[in-house]
């Protein structure tokens, strides 16, 4: 893996059993409480070990907390992290903190900052980590239109890239999220689908359409926008 000049550093992630066992569950509980969200239903299961990709519908700020409720392991999140509207890359201390929390930061407006991203994700998969991607990117509150947001095919291209590097199939776990208002509380439902696989020769956009159809079904949404 060529990580020269990269903003991503290989090495054992700064994450320990204490953080997984105590701090993160509390942070997750606090986040859901602040957003008045209660997780009512979780169906399906994520594996407790092994390098996997997770692709989820992105409907609200509670999504990461809901997903974390179903995982008894470290999760790494690909995100365009910002602070006061500016990329997290511009804040060295905050960047270190978000790295520590498992955020794999990207900067859509400055691709140079993303140099080495795919190689870093391959490294994470190689050492048995789980990487979460929201293909829709930004929040897409379009349930009234009964559709998912427009998705990018990055998760498929990452899987294909990793499969070529690691010489093995990479599992993509589709996740559907559904929220229903119940008085002052919002009830969240999460459905984890069967692992989704892509062939290295497959057209990424066509494979992504199939994956988003799975996510739409799991989210109880009938349609999705074209890529």
Q: What is the pTM of this model?
A: 0.88
β-strands 103-105, 75-79 pairing: parallel
> From residue 174, how far is each of 18, 58, 134 by CA, in Å?
28, 12, 10
Reported as half-sphere exposure (CB side, CA atoms, 13 A), residue 185 has a value of: 9
Q: What secondary structure, in 3-state letters, does 109-134 show?
A: CCHHHHCCHHHHHHHHHHCCCEEEEC
Q: How does pLDDT run along the chain (227 residues), one tens digit per residue?
A: 656 667 777 765 655 556 666 677 787 888 899 999 999 999 999 999 999 999 998 888 899 999 998 888 889 999 887 777 788 778 888 887 777 778 888 888 888 888 888 999 999 999 999 999 999 876 555 555 667 778 889 999 999 999 999 999 999 999 999 999 888 899 999 999 999 999 999 999 999 999 999 999 999 887 766 66
CB neighbours of 66 closer than 8 A, spacing ≥ 6? 32, 37, 39, 177, 188, 190
């Amino acid at each position: 893996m060529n990580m020269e000049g990269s903003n991503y550093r290989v090495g054992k992630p700064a994450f320990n059993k204490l953080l997984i066992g105590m701090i993160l569950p509390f942070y997750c509980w606090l986040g859901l409480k602040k957003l008045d969200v209660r997780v009512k239903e979780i169906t399906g299961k994520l594996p407790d070990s092994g390098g996997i990709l997770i692709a989820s519908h992105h409907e609200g700020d509670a999504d990461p907390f809901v997903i974390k409720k179903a995982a008894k392991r470290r999760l790494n999140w690909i995100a365009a992290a910002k602070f006061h509207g500016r990329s997290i890359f511009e804040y060295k201390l905050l960047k270190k903190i978000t790295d520590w929390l498992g955020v794999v930061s990207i900067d859509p407006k400055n691709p140079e900052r993303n140099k080495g991203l795919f190689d870093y994700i391959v490294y994470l998969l190689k050492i048995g980590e789980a990487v979460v991607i929201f293909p829709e990117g930004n929040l897409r509150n379009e349930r009234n239109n009964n559709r998912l947001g427009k998705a990018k095919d990055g998760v498929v291209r990452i899987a294909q890239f990793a499969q070529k590097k690691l010489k093995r199939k990479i599992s993509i776990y589709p996740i559907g999220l559904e929220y229903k208002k119940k008085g002052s509380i919002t009830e969240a439902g999460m459905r984890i689908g069967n692992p989704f696989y892509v062939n290295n020769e497959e057209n990424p956009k066509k494979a992504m359409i199939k994956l988003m159809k799975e996510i739409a079904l799991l989210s109880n949404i009938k349609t999705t926008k074209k890529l």
